Amino acid sequence: MNVTELNKIAVAMVAPAKGILAADESTGTIKKRFDTINTQSVETSRRDYREMLFRTKAAMEENISGVILYDETIRQNAADGTPLVKLIKDAGSIPGIKVDAGAKAIHGFPGETVTEGLDGLRERLAEYHKLGARFAKWRAVIDVGAQQGINGSYAIPTRYSLKANAEALARYASLCQEAGIVPIVEPEVLMDGDHDINRCCEVTHASLYALFGALGEARVALEGVILKPNMVIAGKKSPKQASSEEIAEKTVDCFRACVPAAVPGIVFLSGGQSEIEATENLNTMNAAYKDKMPWALSFSYGRALQTAALQAWQGKPENVAAGSAAFAHRAKMNGLAQLGTWSKELEG
Ligand code: 13P
């Protein structure tokens, strides 16, 4: 597909006041989420839950530009037989699909992974395009290792793992563009560990340099790419947690140094931040730096859009209205954060 068409999709994915709902939890991950509300994860319960989200009209029409689906979901019908993809499209939102096959250990590199799923990807993308997907997602996982040795150097991530993941992301992105699908490239630097915000900053820099080098070499058109990164943030176990202002400043600085202006948008993952933290940090960035950024800055949250909805739903049909209302609220709050006009008082 030509770059103009891809760019049109990418720009729509980061329209003002809108962002992406990551509803692409694998069968294993959604089971973990359902375990927290004592609900069995079976095909129909997964369908009912996602149908509740996709039928939340206010959220889907006003604040959700696109939905990342899992293979099962893109083929599933709502209880009344309507394809779930149609519910998304009817709300004016764009269906997307997770296409990677997960992060797998790299032999000889303990603690590091490379994401697999390139074999047969061309054929799978052609099928997903027929099923309605107009964008895709591939997640690389980059762990920040502990300091080691007498000089306190870091062994992880290695240059090799950054390169291997960047090459896979670039090959995936190229195949997506060939199929008329906008690639979301996601190099996630994990929040696990006790590293401080500066170490996260260094590793995020290194992963983005490797990624944009590889995308350039593969002749991927950046106008038709969306970046999905972590925020620059201290590890969850770090005694030195940064303020929202510091997170915003370091994150925006990092991306201004590493992400070419041709990229239409950056959409963050929430990565284990609480719902309010994820909203607040996005808001701080857009409120303080909108004029300094060449790309739109938005969200592609999984947990930070769904936790309250899942808790309100509890797997029970009588709670669908409450679950839906909780999702609509989070979507609205994040839509405001995209504009930089959110405030804590609006949380109620
Ligand atoms: P979280 O927002 O829950 O981190 O999920 C986003 C996602 O899609 C990670 O790949």
Cβ–ligand 1 distance for 269 under 6 Å, the answer yes
Atom of ligand 1 nearest to the CA of 270: 2
Cβ–ligand 1 distance for 270 under 6 Å, the answer yes
Total tally of structural domains belonging to the chain: 1
- Residue 127 known to be catalytic: no
Cβ–ligand 1 distance for 19 under 6 Å, the answer no
Is the entire prediction scored with pTM above 0.95? yes
Atom of ligand 1 nearest to the CA of 303: 3
What are 136-154's pLDDT values in tens digits? 999 999 999 877 766 777 7
pLDDT per residue of the chain (348 residues) written in tens, 0 to 9: 699 999 999 999 999 999 999 999 999 999 999 999 999 999 999 999 999 999 999 999 999 999 999 999 999 999 999 999 999 999 999 999 999 999 999 999 999 999 999 999 999 999 999 999 999 999 999 999 877 766 777 789 999 999 999 999 999 999 999 999 999 999 999 999 999 999 999 999 999 999 999 999 999 999 999 999 999 999 999 999 999 999 999 999 999 999 999 999 999 999 999 999 999 999 999 999 999 999 999 999 999 999 999 999 999 999 999 999 999 999 999 999 999 999 999 998
Atom of ligand 1 nearest to the CA of 268: 2
Catalytic residue (one of 18, 98, 228, 250): 228
CATH number of the domain enclosing 32: 3.20.20.70
Closest listed residue to residue 311, CA positions, set 324, 298, 300: 324
Rg (CA), the chain: 19
Catalytic residue (one of 25, 51, 112, 186): 186
Q: Degrees (nearest 5) of the Cα angle 203, 233, 165?
A: 35
Residue nearest to ligand 1 atom 4, measured at CA = 271
Cβ–ligand 1 distance for 302 under 6 Å, the answer yes
Residue owning tokens 């799923």? 117
- Residue 347 known to be catalytic: no
Residue to mutate, 269, 281, 298, 306, ligand 1, most ligand atoms under 8 Å from C-beta: 269
Q: Which residues contact 57 (CB under 8 A, 6 or more apart)?
A: 91
Cα 164 to chain centroid distance, Å, stands at 20
Cβ–ligand 1 distance for 230 under 6 Å, the answer no
The pLDDT value recorded for residue 149 is 67
Residue nearest to ligand 1 atom 8, measured at CA = 22
Distance between start and end Cα atoms, the chain: 45
Cβ–ligand 1 distance for 303 under 6 Å, the answer yes
Cβ–ligand 1 distance for 271 under 6 Å, the answer yes
- Print the domain residue range for 42: 3-347
Burial profile 166-183: b = 16 or more Cβ within 10 angstroms, e = fewer: bbbbbbbbbbbbebbbbb
Tell me if 20 sits within 8 A of 270, measured CB to CB: no
What are 12-36's pLDDT values in tens digits? 999 999 999 999 999 999 999 999 9
Show the DSSP H helices in 18-132 as ranges: 27-35, 43-54, 57-62, 71-74, 84-90, 121-130
Using the mean position of ligand 1's atoms as its centre, give its distance from the Cα of residue 271 in Å: 6
Cβ–ligand 1 distance for 330 under 6 Å, the answer no
Q: Is the dihedral of CA 180, 75, 100, 29 positive or negative?
A: positive
Give one word for 225, left, alpha or beta, with left for phi > 0 and alpha for psi -120 to 50: beta
Using the mean position of ligand 1's atoms as its centre, give its distance from the Cα of residue 150 in Å: 36
Residue to mutate, 299, 303, 310, ligand 1, most ligand atoms under 8 Å from C-beta: 303
